[in-house]
Amino acid sequence: MTNTSKRDLLIAAAKTRFYQQGIARTTLADIAQEAKIPLGNVYYHFRTKDALLEAVIESNVQRLQTRFAGWNQTIADPRERLLAFLQLEREAESSLARYGCPYGSLNQEIDKEDTPLVSFAARMLQVYLDWAEAQFRQLGKDEQEAEDLAIDLIAWLQGTFLLSASFRSPQLLERKLQRMEQWIQAM
């Protein structure tokens, strides 16, 4: 196993543990156990939990950018891209209704710690906003309206994820996703 693959395994394990347990409750030993890698190897790749958290954030940002770029290339209609985005959320419904949004909840936790990672973590949600805004502009909305609609969409999603997780209700999430789809189709 190469160092790169061990590093990637640790990042994937950290994503899972941070998402399911929270940052504060997750130890580097938890992450090593999840990755099935000796704890010493964690320290070889990441000296601190913050260094690992930074790698998780960067990985999330890259994953989102890659997904959105792929949709931009393979789905011609911006409305259909927005609907594909909601479908992806639907496919993650059980974990979203249990733990909330992995990006939104990570941002909230980091914000409570008041570390230099706060603005770095906000990049995850900024990727969502920028992409959604571009879709609305392609639907013919002017710059300000496209920005407002993107904020509306992402805020609606994040609030829905929070409520669904709080009530452990995939049904609530499904109802709201259907409403969002209707809203987008009506544009």
pLDDT tens string 134-143: 999 999 999 9
Q: pLDDT > 70: what percent of the chain?
A: 98
Angle separating helix axes 28-35 and 3-21, nearest 10 degrees: 120
The pLDDT value recorded for residue 105 is 93
Q: Which residues of 157-169 are buried (b: 16+ CB within 10 A; e: fewer)?
A: bbebbbebbeeee
Same domain, 35 and 102: no
Q: What is the mean pLDDT of residues 95-109?
A: 93
Mean pLDDT of the chain: 94
**21-35, pLDDT tens digit by residue?**
999 999 999 999 999
Q: What is the pLDDT of residue 113?
A: 82
Same domain, yes or no: 93 and 3 = no
Q: CATH number of the domain that 3 lies in?
A: 1.10.10.60
Encoded tokens for 110: 């980091």
**pLDDT at residue 56, rounded to an integer:** 97
Residue 149 and residue 71 in one domain:
yes
Residues 162 and 181 in one domain: yes
Residues of the chain with pLDDT > 90, as a percent, come to 91
pLDDT tens sequence across 59-91: 999 999 999 999 999 999 999 999 999 999 999
- Boundary of a domain, candidates 47, 68, 85: 47
Query: 3 pLDDT band (50/70/90 cuts)?
Result: low
The answer to whether residues 8 and 89 belong to one domain is no
User: Hunting for tokens 């936790």 — which residue is that?
Assistant: 109
149: pLDDT confidence band, cut at 50, 70 and 90? Answer: very high
Same domain, 25 and 76: no
Number of domains forming the structure of the chain? 2
User: The domain that contains 78 carries what CATH number?
Assistant: 1.10.357.10
Judge if 23 and 88 occupy the same domain.
no
- pLDDT given for residue 115 in this prediction: 81
Flag the least confident range among 115-119, 140-144, 154-158, 181-185. Answer: 115-119
151-174 confidence digits (pLDDT tens):
999 999 999 999 999 999 999 999
Do 125 and 61 reside in the same domain of the chain? yes
54 and 32, same structural domain?
no
Same domain, 90 and 131: yes
Per-residue pLDDT at 116: 85
Range(s) of the domain holding residue 122? 50-185
Asked if residue 2 has pLDDT above 70, the reply is: no
Q: Report pLDDT digits (tens) over 48-58.
A: 999 999 999 99
